[in-house]
Amino acid sequence: MSILLILLVVLAIVLGVTDIRRNLITKPVFQIFKKILPPMSSTEREAMEAGSIWWEGELFRGKPDWNKLHGYAKPALSEEEQAFLDNQVETLLKMLDDHKIVHQDKDLPKEVWDYLRKEGFFAMIIPKSFGGKEFSAIANSTIVSRISTRSLSAAVTVMVPNSLGPGELLMHYGTEAQKNYWLPRLADGTDIPCFALTGPEAGSDAGAIPDTGIVCKGMHDGEEVLGLKLSWDKRYITLAPVATVLGLAFKMYDPDGLLGDKKDLGITCALIPTSHPGVNVGDRHFPVAMAFMNGTTTGEDVFIPLDWIIGGPDYAGRGWRMLVECLSAGRGISLPALATANGHLSARTTGAYAAVRKQFGLSIGKFEGIQEAMGRIGGLTYTLEAMRTMTAGAIDLGESPSVVTAIAKYHMTEMSREVINDAMDVHAGKGVQLGPKNYLAHQYFGTPVAITVEGANILTRNLMIFGQGATRCHPYVFDEMEAAANPDSEQGLKDFDQLLIKHVAFATGNFFGALWQGLTAAAFNRAPVSGETGEYYQQLSRMSKGLALCADFSMLMLGGDLKRKEMISARLGDVLSQLYIASAVLRRYESDGRQVADLPFVHYALQRSLHRIGVAFDGFFQNFPSRVVAVLLKRVVFPWGINYRMPHDEITQKVSDSLMTPGVMRDRLTHLCYIGENADDAVGIVENAFVAMHEMVPVEKKILAAQKQKLIPRKLPFATTLELALEKGVISEHEAEQLKRADALRRDALSVDNFAPGELEGKAQSAKAKSVA
């Protein structure tokens, strides 16, 4: 006992006396930390420092404040934004013929381009003071989603000027002169912008941009000025073939010291009219057969004045930071909008199609294999909408959460891929035969676009989500890195000493907290609500604690090697991501008023997220380099094993049934899906058949009862069955006519497009013309 007391006294002295602690503990740890500190390039540092920390910080620290989550304002459209959606957007949708756009014109019609300019579709983010709409992020997102359910090519065309590009950069960093000149021209459609970042040798690794701008003197408007001699080669640039103004990212050098002593100034952004001598744009790419404009731009020794740098000469070398801070528009608004549109369209049409398509005398939606796919479609669509509104809402709150938007970009586009694949499977032949009646194929073709752009998904998952999250979201690591990098080593040691004490206390609390919550299965965790969702809050808090613990051990054990252990860090990123996804679902359920009809969707989404957290943790434990540490962590976080399961079949079937039942729930789930009023509208055809057939269910039940009583033989042709049912008084003449009409609509919905010999090659019409002549 006395020995233990002596040890405790010694420990208290070592930890409590500052000089002793710094010499015996902090200084050795400080030196080790500096050695294992991952090397960080200037572009990585700028990416780390850019943006803000929002809800993901709560999740990463092991003790999320759920009341804070519920306290975030629910994003809503203003009256002006709703009016634009109800009028201008609806008018646009009626103008679009996506089959013609994609397969014939390979471009939007001139009248559509003119309408987009005239009505300010390219000016949604531009302030009203410059002639723009100044719409919120949620309005921007909702408009793009709505358009995408009608035409992906049109949605991308609208999306890009309102995403990462000249407008966004000018608003945040432009000089007053640049704003006053360019923003009104962008707002009224006089100029169409594009932004050129990606090149043949620099895609996701933007720091490797080979394009250069050399500071020199040259002639501009008849006089010699200080400027840049630019050379670039860019590709995959959306709107480049039609752009009149080019945003360009390049590396800036000052070899002759015309601006100062620094030779390598870093990544810089400039704005250049495409009519400027030496600027080459116009060669088109053909991305997955979509019709939106995408192409190349090049230039060789193109001279521009320094004033064309976005923000002016003072912003030379600050381009990467500018770009990273503005990425939230693409990752947090535009790409999630496209992904969510896939869900709304797929859920609406697949539910309808599964109800009207029959095999073996039953709607195919009654078969469990189809129900499994439709359960995923419905559950993921609910999740996508929850993430869309929560992420866009964060941007409207003034946040620029780089980790959250990376999570949204990666997981929402991957969920969208799952949804469209399931929808295509259920539609089968209906989905693969191209033509005006096919409402899914173009979405299917275009899915890889969102997965590829704004940082390819593999990169986003393996390097960005946890790579940034571990450093930015951790309460101490980034500050410790700053202390270790401090050129004043004495001050750095003092700062590190204070942070280390807090970090040790934080890690110790997480260790014992994770163990307690694991042993008790989180039964004593507080939930902010009661009812069926209460347990999810408890489990998510437990998993948040487990993530904080495993992240700390990973950074301690692996140090700089962690960012090279991509599969390890990606799994921790998956845990963080699923915690965010589940948070979005819970928040949607609460903000929508805890609708009872939503519960199957909520259960599906949350059980799926918890299961994926379990899978990610299991992979982490199996592959962690230190087996001793891996076993220890698993026993602490999951002392009774990983017991999260995918949703029960009963939940899946309830979700599936909701998709095949007309009503408020189905309408709310798919409210962004465009349904045209014209008789030839593809979505309208299947929707009308679905509604008509649903109304005939009582009549069909009468016929089925008669067949069971053997009044009418089974497996007769439809017309014969109808005639016998009428003859034997099973149904009335009015019911027979209704059933005929519903069946005609059903057959129309099931039909696909046919083309005469030579028609697809454009030969049929000319052959017919010759025969007439």
CB of 293 closer than 8 Å to CB of 241:
yes
The amino acid present at 508, given as its one-letter code, is T
pLDDT at residue 65 in the model? 96
363 and 268 belong to one structural domain: no
Task: Report the C-alpha gap between 618 and 717 in whole angstroms.
Answer: 55
509 and 619 belong to one structural domain: yes
404 and 521 belong to one structural domain: no
- Nearest Cα neighbor of 145 from 298, 274, 338, 312 is 338
Within a domain: 60: no
| 307 alpha carbon, distance to own chain's centre | 35
178 and 206 belong to one structural domain: no
Task: Report the C-alpha gap between 101 and 94 in whole angstroms.
Answer: 13
The total of other beta-carbon atoms located within 10 Å of residue 95's CB is 16
The amino acid present at 397, given as its one-letter code, is L
DSSP 8-class letter at 125: S
Task: Report the C-alpha gap between 609 and 387 in whole angstroms.
Answer: 13
pLDDT at residue 475 in the model? 77
pLDDT at residue 468 in the model? 75
The amino acid present at 449, given as its one-letter code, is V
The last residue of a domain, from among 461, 490, 507: 461
Distances in Å between the Cα of 576 and the Cα atoms of 142, 339, 409, 452, 712 are 26, 20, 14, 22, 60
612 and 487 belong to one structural domain: yes
Query: E strands within 552-614?
Result: none
482 and 384 belong to one structural domain: no
567 and 450 belong to one structural domain: no
Composition of the chain by helix, strand, coil, percent to 5: 65, 10, 25
Within a domain: 553: yes
Residue in the structure block whose two tokens are 């992020």 = 137
756 and 634 belong to one structural domain: no
Q: What residues of the chain score a pLDDT lower than 50? A: 7-8, 10-11, 13-15, 766-773
The last residue of a domain, from among 270, 302, 326: 326
Please pick, among 56, 168, 385, 454, the residue that the annotation labels catalytic.
454
548 and 643 belong to one structural domain: yes
Task: Report the C-alpha gap between 479 and 389 in whole angstroms.
Answer: 32
The last residue of a domain, from among 187, 217, 245: 187
Which ranges constitute the DSSP H helices of 37-136?
Answer: 42-49, 55-60, 66-71, 79-84, 90-95, 98-100, 110-118
The total of other beta-carbon atoms located within 10 Å of residue 518's CB is 19
CATH code at position 444: 1.20.140.10
Within a domain: 67: no
271 and 376 belong to one structural domain: no
CATH code at position 205: 2.40.110.10
284 and 355 belong to one structural domain: no
CATH code at position 105: 1.10.540.10
Within a domain: 499: yes
Q: Give yes or no: 56 in active site.
A: no
pLDDT at residue 768 in the model? 45
Task: Report the C-alpha gap between 16 and 3 in whole angstroms.
Answer: 20
Within a domain: 65: no
pLDDT at residue 767 in the model? 42
CATH code at position 542: 1.20.140
Q: At a CB cut-off of 8 Å and minimum separation 6, what does 105 contact?
A: 291
559: left (phi over 0), alpha (psi -120 to 50) or beta: left
Within a domain: 57: no
DSSP 8-class letter at 647: P
Task: Report the C-alpha gap between 60 and 63 in whole angstroms.
Answer: 8
Q: Which domain holds residue 169?
A: 79-187
Task: Report the domain count for the chain.
Answer: 5
552 and 454 belong to one structural domain: no
Within a domain: 690: no
Task: Report the C-alpha gap between 65 and 285 in whole angstroms.
Answer: 48
Within a domain: 533: yes
Q: Euclidean distance between the first and final Cα of the chain, in Å?
A: 113
CB of 456 closer than 8 Å to CB of 206:
no
